[in-house]
Amino acid sequence: MSNQPPRPATQRLRIPGPTAVPERVRQAIAEQVVNHRGPEFRAILHETFALLKPLFGTTGDILPFAASGTGGMEAAIANIVTQGDRVLVVINGQFGDRFKAIAEAFGAIVDTAVFELGTAPDSAIIAERLAKADYRAVFVTHNESSTGAVADLAAIGAVVREHDALLVVDSVSGLGAMAVNQDQWHLDIVVTASQKALMCPPGIALVSVSAKAWNVVNRVKAARFFWDFRKAKAAADQDEAAFTPAVSLIAGLRVALDMIHAEGLANVFERHRRLATALRAGAEALGMPVFTSAPILSNSVMVLRLPDTLESGRLVNHMYQHYNTVITGARAPALNGKVIRIGTMGSIDAADILTDLHYLERSLADLGRPAQPGAGVAAAAAVLAS
Amino acid sequence: MSNQPPRPATQRLRIPGPTAVPERVRQAIAEQVVNHRGPEFRAILHETFALLKPLFGTTGDILPFAASGTGGMEAAIANIVTQGDRVLVVINGQFGDRFKAIAEAFGAIVDTAVFELGTAPDSAIIAERLAKADYRAVFVTHNESSTGAVADLAAIGAVVREHDALLVVDSVSGLGAMAVNQDQWHLDIVVTASQKALMCPPGIALVSVSAKAWNVVNRVKAARFFWDFRKAKAAADQDEAAFTPAVSLIAGLRVALDMIHAEGLANVFERHRRLATALRAGAEALGMPVFTSAPILSNSVMVLRLPDTLESGRLVNHMYQHYNTVITGARAPALNGKVIRIGTMGSIDAADILTDLHYLERSLADLGRPAQPGAGVAAAAAVLAS
């Protein structure tokens, strides 16, 4: 650790969410609070709904909740699952387990379709399972941020639409970084949250609801009040929230969505793809390949294998202590110690990726596992220039 | 409307919550987001818990949720009520009705103890009801902000503690403006939220839990995941939240609590009492007495009767259009058109009260119902000087 540079004064928040929030968004959040049922806030909410729809790929209803992403997942379940309903939870990582736990808490009989950690769900197997039993809903994680595997939602949607079951998608760490085409792909409920690709602090959950889902939501006798989609829709139709919304965070979200649309949604996705590809190339050159073997790689969360002899906690801690860069370790218990995870979503650019790789390279050297100097940033730069 | 002054450029947010947020708090909220499981945020959460306990009057657990106040009410119910449990909801206004609706959504058999709108709950009648049936819980609204009546929580606590029933208190619009002594008064679950006397934007619900309540929470098989107090406590014991917390809002709450303790909690309560008393005196001098006849008057929410011939919507709208001052009308349907409601909690001082009265006086004159010029501010000033 000779020639150790001083620790950077400004923290680099590089976890897979919450992500760093642009200054313009933070300024909007710092504005004085307004009446949540007055014309100023109704105008903000009206614009926010309109700006969100292209990100969900829907012309349908988008409902906001003052909650985190898990609250959005619970809202989806609370509105369609009643005691004794049978549901199918697709599990290929940690967040599938969460859907299972919530559905069980709400009294569902939960069948699971489990896929190996790091792989994507196989729509043919989901089709087989749907042929064998009647399900109220199928739960899928779009971007499994514990592994970096992305589900082929178009393929799964084509399967589930042939059945009465609803397709519920957790895209908390996907939406805004990668395309979601709810209407075209026949997704029934899509859940996301403010603190990932949407470049806001945590505290807003967003849920979109298809016509097929409304038929269930309006019919079932479920235990719901705060999460009640019917109340949320009645309010949203008036550009209000059913219960006091997180007005400051919504004001920030409106600005963040303005920024996304000013850049252009296709350009935002391409930026994520390019930066993620660059980080993958750079990390591989440092001896840290991506963990997942899925055909569709995450562009929002990098899950990188470490050399066998390096425990991830040491690298995470070193990046924090010496380079004031906050990355994180495994989210799935089976990967504890074996992977690091870095966010590549939201308000990031080439500087973030190159700096990540620079500090990773230095940390590996500091920890006695030097890679070829400059190999990481060079590989990334080649991608960025291509 | 001769001599009409120009509309003030800055909006005056004078509704009973969300309340105006001090600049220092808004600056803290605008700081860059930090890792919600890192040492910086754990330090913030640790201090926040410690600073909150005197406001709840408890040495027990306080649990934060990324949600609005209604979410906190739902959390209280989700953790103690199971299908078929009998509960007693004390109703003396709109927010008692909300407790009833949530409890019913969670499958409770709800008995009600209804008191006339504008009155406070009678603890002797609650005692009679508790003698006749076994209840899982009794639900009481501390500060019924639809009427301005305050419940005598000490008296009700003394009654309920003789039974197995838990005493659940909605103090969303009370706590921080008026004393809550949870431990001394034997309150089992107290719910509040960030956007009232705590001087923050909406988006944080706070719930405190007594030892008697934990015995129930840990025992019952309730449908809960996001609201699960056991998960929240396990995380809080590590200065974390079970699910991604609203990190920016929590950072603001910490600063708001610093401000409250710097002023001194007793001084904060006395400021609220004095300002509320002054506004009541001034409003009465303008012909708008308080609606409630309760022995304990709210110091946080003024509910004022209007002259019979003046519809509240006209006055609310005039205050907004001409004086950029946002007050509001009735919250209980039976009072529609008959009352206005003004917040007197959080970050307010004598200037707010005098300005409210000045604009109310001008609006009454504008609307053809002039009071004696200066009568309102003079009556308020006399209280403030006493």
Q: Are A79 and A217 in contact (CB under 8 A)?
A: yes
Interchain proximity A246–B246, CB inside 8 Å: yes
User: CA of B251: which chain A residue's CA is closest?
Assistant: A201
Give the closest-approach CA distance of A283 to chain B in angstroms. 23
Beta-carbon pairs below 8 A across chains A and B = 174
Give the closest-approach CA distance of B303 to chain A in angstroms. 18
pLDDT at position A299: 98
Give the integer Cα–Cα distance in Å for A169 and B159: 48
Pairing of strands A61-66, A204-209: antiparallel
Q: Burial-class residue B106 by CB neighbours within 10 Å (0-12, 13-18, 19+).
A: buried
Q: Kindly report the backbone phi and psi dihedral angles of residue A168, in degrees, each rounded to the nearest multiple of 5, phi listed first.
A: -105, 125
Q: What is this structure's pTM? A: 0.97
Mutate to test the interface with B, among A15, A31, A35 (most CBs of B within 10 A): A35
Contacts of B102 in chain A (CB under 8 A): 225-226
Give the closest-approach CA distance of A171 to chain B in angstroms. 15
Contacts of B37 in chain A (CB under 8 A): 328
Q: Which of A164, A160, A174 is nearest to A95 (CA)?
A: A174
Given B35, B202, B243, which is nearest A244 (Cβ)?
Answer: B202
Interchain proximity B33–A27, CB inside 8 Å: no
Q: Which amino acid does the sequence have at B71?
A: G
**pLDDT band, very low/low/confident/very high, at B5 (cuts 50, 70, 90):** confident
Given A18, A66, A70, which is nearest B33 (Cβ)?
Answer: A18
Interchain proximity A244–B105, CB inside 8 Å: no
DSSP character string of A208-263:
EE-HHHHHHHTT-----STT-HHHHHHHHTTT--SS---HHHHHHHHHHHHHHHHH
Interchain proximity B244–A21, CB inside 8 Å: no
Q: Are B25 and B259 in contact (CB under 8 A)?
A: yes
**Binding-face residues of B in 106-135 toward A, CB within 8 A:** 106-107
B204, B80, B164, B135: CA torsion to nearest 10:
110
Query: For every one of its 386 residues, what pLDDT tens digit does chain A have, with 9 covering 90 and above?
Result: 456 778 999 999 999 999 999 999 999 999 999 999 999 999 999 999 999 999 999 999 999 999 999 999 999 999 999 999 999 999 999 999 999 999 999 999 999 999 999 999 999 999 999 999 999 999 999 999 999 999 999 999 999 999 999 999 999 999 999 999 999 999 999 999 999 999 999 999 999 999 999 999 999 988 899 999 999 999 999 999 999 999 999 999 999 999 999 999 999 999 999 999 999 999 999 999 999 999 999 999 999 999 999 999 999 999 999 999 999 999 999 999 999 999 999 999 999 999 999 999 999 999 999 999 999 999 999 999 98
The set of long-range contacts for B332-339, using a CB threshold of 8 Å and a minimum separation of 24, is: B332/B93, B332/B94, B332/B117, B332/B146, B332/B147, B334/B117, B335/B117, B335/B146, B335/B147, B335/B291, B335/B303, B336/B312, B337/B311, B337/B312, B337/B313, B338/B305, B338/B306, B338/B312, B339/B291, B339/B303, B339/B304, B339/B305, B339/B306, B339/B312
Q: Which of B227, B226, B199, B230 is nearest to B213 (CA)?
A: B230
What average pLDDT does the segment B116-135 reach?
Answer: 98
Could you tell me how many helices (H) and strands (E) chain A has, helices first?
14, 13
Give the closest-approach CA distance of A340 to chain B in angstroms. 15
A74 touches chain B (CB under 8 A): yes
Q: Are A127 and A159 in contact (CB under 8 A)?
A: yes
Interchain proximity A19–B36, CB inside 8 Å: no
Give the closest-approach CA distance of A32 to chain B in angstroms. 6
Give the closest-approach CA distance of A158 to chain B in angstroms. 31
**Binding-face residues of B in 168-197 toward A, CB within 8 A:** 193, 195
Q: Are A379 and A284 in contact (CB under 8 A)?
A: yes
Interchain proximity A66–B69, CB inside 8 Å: no
Contacts of B26 in chain A (CB under 8 A): 30-32
pLDDT digits (tens, 9 = 90+) for B346-366: 999 999 999 999 999 999 999
Q: What's the angle, vertex CA B173, arms to CA B124 and CA B32, rounded to 5? A: 150
Given A29, A35, A70, which is nearest B248 (Cβ)?
Answer: A29
A43 touches chain B (CB under 8 A): no
Structural domains of chain A ordered from first start: 12-20+264-385 (3.90.1150.10), 23-261 (3.40.640.10)
Give the closest-approach CA distance of B203 to chain A in angstroms. 5
Mutate to test the interface with B, among A13, A98, A139, A244 (most CBs of B within 10 A): A244
DSSP label at A19?
A: P
Give the integer Cα–Cα distance in Å for A178 and A327: 21
Interchain proximity B225–A101, CB inside 8 Å: yes
pLDDT digits (tens, 9 = 90+) for B207-262: 999 999 999 999 998 889 999 999 999 999 999 999 999 999 999 999 999 999 99
Q: Which amino acid does the sequence have at A379?
A: A
CA distances from B175 to A228, A307, B66, B198 (A): 27, 53, 18, 8
- Give SS3 for B301: strand
Strand runs (DSSP E) across chain B, as ranges?
Answer: 12-13, 61-66, 86-91, 109-114, 137-141, 143-144, 149-150, 166-170, 189-193, 204-209, 301-305, 325-326, 339-343
Is B1's pLDDT higher than 60? Answer: no
